[in-house]
Amino acid sequence: MTGQEIQLRTLKLLEQNPHLSQRELSAALGVSLGKAHYVLKALVNMGWVKLDNFRRSDHKLGYAYLLTAKGIAEKADITVRFLARKQLEYEALREEIEQLKAEVSGGAGEPGSR
Protein backbone atom coordinates (compact mmCIF):
# COMPACT_ATOMS: atom_id res chain seq x y z
CA MET A 1 0.00 0.00 0.00
CA THR A 2 1.42 3.38 -0.99
CA GLY A 3 1.58 6.41 1.26
CA GLN A 4 -1.28 8.06 -0.61
CA GLU A 5 -3.41 4.94 -0.30
CA ILE A 6 -2.85 4.90 3.46
CA GLN A 7 -3.69 8.61 3.64
CA LEU A 8 -6.86 8.12 1.60
CA ARG A 9 -8.00 5.12 3.65
CA THR A 10 -7.23 7.00 6.88
CA LEU A 11 -9.22 10.04 5.77
CA LYS A 12 -12.15 7.84 4.76
CA LEU A 13 -12.12 5.95 8.05
CA LEU A 14 -11.89 9.12 10.13
CA GLU A 15 -14.67 10.76 8.14
CA GLN A 16 -16.91 7.78 8.91
CA ASN A 17 -15.85 7.46 12.55
CA PRO A 18 -13.93 10.41 14.04
CA HIS A 19 -13.76 8.71 17.46
CA LEU A 20 -11.58 5.81 16.30
CA SER A 21 -8.65 5.15 18.58
CA GLN A 22 -5.22 4.83 17.03
CA ARG A 23 -5.31 1.13 17.88
CA GLU A 24 -8.65 0.70 16.06
CA LEU A 25 -7.34 2.73 13.12
CA SER A 26 -4.19 0.64 12.87
CA ALA A 27 -6.28 -2.56 12.84
CA ALA A 28 -8.63 -1.19 10.15
CA LEU A 29 -5.67 -0.09 8.01
CA GLY A 30 -3.71 -3.27 8.59
CA VAL A 31 -0.63 -1.34 9.75
CA SER A 32 1.27 -1.16 13.01
CA LEU A 33 0.16 1.16 15.79
CA GLY A 34 3.33 3.21 15.24
CA LYS A 35 2.53 3.62 11.54
CA ALA A 36 -1.04 4.70 12.33
CA HIS A 37 0.32 7.27 14.80
CA TYR A 38 2.82 8.52 12.21
CA VAL A 39 0.10 8.89 9.53
CA LEU A 40 -2.28 10.67 11.91
CA LYS A 41 0.46 13.04 13.06
CA ALA A 42 1.35 13.83 9.43
CA LEU A 43 -2.31 14.50 8.53
CA VAL A 44 -2.64 16.83 11.53
CA ASN A 45 0.61 18.62 10.62
CA MET A 46 -0.59 19.11 7.03
CA GLY A 47 -3.81 20.64 8.32
CA TRP A 48 -6.03 17.92 6.84
CA VAL A 49 -7.21 16.61 10.21
CA LYS A 50 -7.70 18.38 13.50
CA LEU A 51 -7.65 16.76 16.88
CA ASP A 52 -10.42 17.59 19.35
CA ASN A 53 -10.80 16.47 22.94
CA PHE A 54 -14.08 15.12 24.20
CA ARG A 55 -15.13 13.55 27.46
CA ARG A 56 -16.05 9.91 27.59
CA SER A 57 -18.67 8.67 29.99
CA ASP A 58 -16.01 7.31 32.36
CA HIS A 59 -14.64 10.89 32.81
CA LYS A 60 -11.50 10.25 30.79
CA LEU A 61 -10.56 12.52 27.92
CA GLY A 62 -10.76 11.01 24.50
CA TYR A 63 -9.99 12.36 21.07
CA ALA A 64 -11.92 12.93 17.89
CA TYR A 65 -10.13 13.26 14.56
CA LEU A 66 -12.07 15.68 12.37
CA LEU A 67 -11.38 16.35 8.71
CA THR A 68 -10.79 20.01 7.97
CA ALA A 69 -12.05 21.72 4.82
CA LYS A 70 -8.54 21.32 3.44
CA GLY A 71 -8.60 17.63 4.39
CA ILE A 72 -11.91 17.08 2.62
CA ALA A 73 -10.55 18.76 -0.53
CA GLU A 74 -7.33 16.72 -0.39
CA LYS A 75 -9.32 13.51 0.09
CA ALA A 76 -11.22 14.31 -3.11
CA ASP A 77 -7.97 15.06 -4.99
CA ILE A 78 -6.28 11.89 -3.76
CA THR A 79 -9.37 9.89 -4.74
CA VAL A 80 -9.26 11.29 -8.30
CA ARG A 81 -5.54 10.46 -8.64
CA PHE A 82 -6.03 7.01 -7.09
CA LEU A 83 -8.91 6.24 -9.45
CA ALA A 84 -6.91 7.35 -12.50
CA ARG A 85 -3.95 5.17 -11.48
CA LYS A 86 -6.16 2.15 -10.81
CA GLN A 87 -7.91 2.57 -14.17
CA LEU A 88 -4.53 2.53 -15.94
CA GLU A 89 -3.54 -0.59 -13.99
CA TYR A 90 -6.86 -2.19 -14.89
CA GLU A 91 -6.44 -1.46 -18.60
CA ALA A 92 -2.88 -2.84 -18.61
CA LEU A 93 -4.03 -5.98 -16.80
CA ARG A 94 -6.96 -6.41 -19.18
CA GLU A 95 -4.61 -6.19 -22.18
CA GLU A 96 -2.28 -8.75 -20.61
CA ILE A 97 -5.21 -11.11 -19.99
CA GLU A 98 -6.32 -10.78 -23.62
CA GLN A 99 -2.79 -11.56 -24.81
CA LEU A 100 -2.63 -14.62 -22.58
CA LYS A 101 -6.02 -15.81 -23.84
CA ALA A 102 -4.81 -15.41 -27.42
CA GLU A 103 -1.67 -17.42 -26.64
CA VAL A 104 -3.67 -20.21 -25.02
CA SER A 105 -6.25 -20.41 -27.79
CA GLY A 106 -3.49 -20.32 -30.43
CA GLY A 107 -1.88 -23.41 -28.97
CA ALA A 108 1.23 -21.66 -27.67
CA GLY A 109 2.42 -23.09 -24.42
CA GLU A 110 0.64 -26.45 -24.80
CA PRO A 111 2.80 -29.54 -24.13
CA GLY A 112 4.17 -30.97 -27.34
CA SER A 113 3.35 -27.92 -29.46
CA ARG A 114 7.03 -27.16 -30.20
Question: Would you say residue 110 lies in a domain?
Answer: no
Contact 28, 13 (CB under 8 A): yes
Q: Is 89 within the bounds of a domain?
A: yes
Whether 111 is in a domain gets the answer no
In a domain, 66, yes or no: yes
Residue 23: the pLDDT is: 92
Q: What is the mean pLDDT of the chain?
A: 87
50 CB-contact burial (10 Å; exposed 0-12 / middle 13-18 / buried 19+): middle
CATH of the domain at 70: 1.10.10.10
pLDDT digits (tens, 9 = 90+) for 25-50: 999 999 999 999 999 999 999 999 99
**pLDDT tens sequence across 4-19:** 889 999 999 999 999 8
Residues spanned by the domain of 51: 3-105
- Let me know if residue 12 belongs to a domain: yes
Q: Report yes or no on 113 lying in a domain.
A: no
Structural domain includes residue 112: no
Confidence of residue 114 (pLDDT cuts 50, 70, 90): very low
Q: pLDDT tens digits, residue range 96-109?
A: 999 999 999 986 55
Total domain count for the chain?
A: 1
CA distances from 28 to 4, 21, 75 (A): 16, 11, 18
> Does 59 or 67 have the greater pLDDT score?
67
With 0.85 as the threshold, say if the pTM is over it. Answer: no
Beta bridge mates, 10: none
* Residue 114 forms part of a structural domain: no
pLDDT given for residue 54 in this prediction: 65
Is residue 93 scored above 80 in pLDDT? yes
